[in-house]
Chains A and B, each alone.
Chain A
């Protein structure tokens, strides 16, 4: 069965970077794009970006341009999201989600990774 398993919770200082991973299993890794979506406590969903695992092509939300980097490791069917220059506003639950290529919707989601930014 399709599974997206994310890495564990992180606590970071302001100004630091965080890297969250998402390991896919149960299907052909190359048939999908991977999106990252975050949700601050009590707030709505916010789209961050996507990566094409076949060629590494990325697209980022304007609000995160220059601060977020999405990468993939095809040998382990894993995608990574790195966010730099963290502030307390980046405290949120970060989700990875799968889009079967060119279908424009997210059919499977990871369990979420809580990133807390605190001094």
Chain B
């Protein structure tokens, strides 16, 4: 099972919106609404930001939103803030009862 494909880095200025893509196949993203997104700050454990493609857990800012089209999922961060600077990973359930993570995206706030 190959890792989902994400851009290595995305950057934006404070207040701007950025979008991170996550591309998989018909065996994972395209077959289930199970995409979740995780934020990881240096030295910290990952934190879920989006689950079930577009749902936000309690306590997560509504500046974070998710969507999916075909085999590609996306995470959008609107009103970018300094605290959003972190690594972001997508993940999906697969047709062989496993999970697969994305390659990871480093978000830089300029």
Kindly report which residue of chain B lies nearest to residue A109, judged by CB atoms: B45
Could you tell me if A45 and B99 are in contact, using CB atoms closer than 8 angstroms? no
Checking B34, B89, B100 against A104 with a beta-carbon cut-off of 8 angstroms, the contacting residue is B34
| Known contacts A95-B45, A104-B32; A44 and B101 CB within 8 A of each other | yes
A89-112 CB contacts (< 8 Å) to partner B: 95, 97, 103-107, 109-112
| Known contacts A47-B91, A62-B1; A104 and B51 CB within 8 A of each other | yes
Checking A61, A95, A103 against B1 with a beta-carbon cut-off of 8 angstroms, the contacting residue is A61
User: Does B57 belong to the interface (CB within 8 Å)?
Assistant: yes
Checking A50, A63, A106, A110 against B36 with a beta-carbon cut-off of 8 angstroms, the contacting residue is A106
Residues of A within 8 A of B99 (CB): 35, 47, 50, 61
Report the contact-size class of chain B (Cβ under 8 Å from the partner): 20 to 34
A103 to B52, CA, bound (A): 8
Residues of B within 8 A of A46 (CB): 101
A44-71 CB contacts (< 8 Å) to partner B: 44-47, 49-50, 59-63
Kindly report which residue of chain B lies nearest to residue A106, judged by CB atoms: B48
Could you tell me if B45 and A110 are in contact, using CB atoms closer than 8 angstroms? yes
A112 to B100, CA, bound (A): 19
Could you tell me if A104 and B93 are in contact, using CB atoms closer than 8 angstroms? yes
Residues of B within 8 A of A106 (CB): 36, 38, 46, 48
As a 0/1 sequence over residues 40 to 70 of chain B, the CB contacts with chain A under 8 angstroms (1 = contact) are: 1000011110011000010000000000000
Could you tell me if A45 and B38 are in contact, using CB atoms closer than 8 angstroms? yes
A110 to B91, CA, bound (A): 18
Could you tell me if B1 and A105 are in contact, using CB atoms closer than 8 angstroms? no
A109 to B48, CA, bound (A): 10
Can you sample 8 A-B contacts with CB below 8 Å? Answer: A35-B99, A37-B46, A44-B102, A46-B101, A95-B46, A97-B46, A105-B48, A106-B46
Q: Chain A residues in contact with chain B, CB under 8 A?
A: 35, 37, 44-47, 49-50, 59-63, 95, 97, 103-107, 109-112
Given contacts A59-B98, A104-B93, A109-B47, 13 further A-B contacts (CB under 8 A): A37-B101, A44-B3, A44-B89, A45-B38, A45-B46, A45-B91, A47-B100, A59-B97, A61-B99, A104-B51, A106-B36, A107-B57, A111-B45
